[in-house]
Amino acid sequence: MNEVIICVGSSCHLKGSERVIEIFKEEIKKNNLNDIKISGSFCQGNCTEGVNIEINKQKIAAVNKENAREIFKKHLMHDQNE
Ligand code: FES
């Protein structure tokens, strides 16, 4: 199971974390992935670099609607092909 935690604290929320969650959910559906769990977190303490997310404990900063799909593919679809 892959675990994605997306910050929905107020700063990351303002920077579009809800949209990042939507994009991740769209990708999960589109690619029929059922081993990814998405959850929200409170502030991850790195507001200036938001939106902050964690994928399997790896912290990734500056996620936005433009790069979310690319990040998803890089970190979550790689495993599928191994
Ligand atoms: S609100 Fe997301 S890191 Fe602070």
Q: What pLDDT was estimated at residue 78? A: 66
Q: Which residues line ligand 1 (CB under 6 A)?
A: 7, 9-12, 43-47, 50, 52
Q: Is the pLDDT of residue 1 over 90?
A: yes
Q: pLDDT tens, 23-77? A: 999 999 999 999 999 999 999 999 999 999 999 999 999 999 999 999 999 999 9
Instruction: Kindly list the domain boundaries of the chain, sorted by start residue.
Output: 2-81
36-41, strands of its sheet edge to edge? 36-41, 2-7, 53-55, 58-60
Instruction: Give the contacts of 62 (CB within 8 A, at least 6 positions apart).
Output: 49, 50, 51
Q: Which of 52, 53, 54 to mutate to test the pocket of ligand 1 (most atoms within 8 A of CB)?
A: 52
Cα–Cα distance list, 76 to 15, 31, 36, 48, 70 (Å): 22, 11, 8, 25, 10
Q: Is the pLDDT of residue 18 over 60?
A: yes
Q: What pLDDT was estimated at residue 82? A: 47
The CATH superfamily assigned to 2-81 is: Glutaredoxin (3.40.30.10)
Give me the residue label for tokens 């999960």: 28
DSSP state for residue 76 in the 8-state scheme: I
Q: How far is the CA of 16 from the centre of ligand 1 (A)?
A: 11
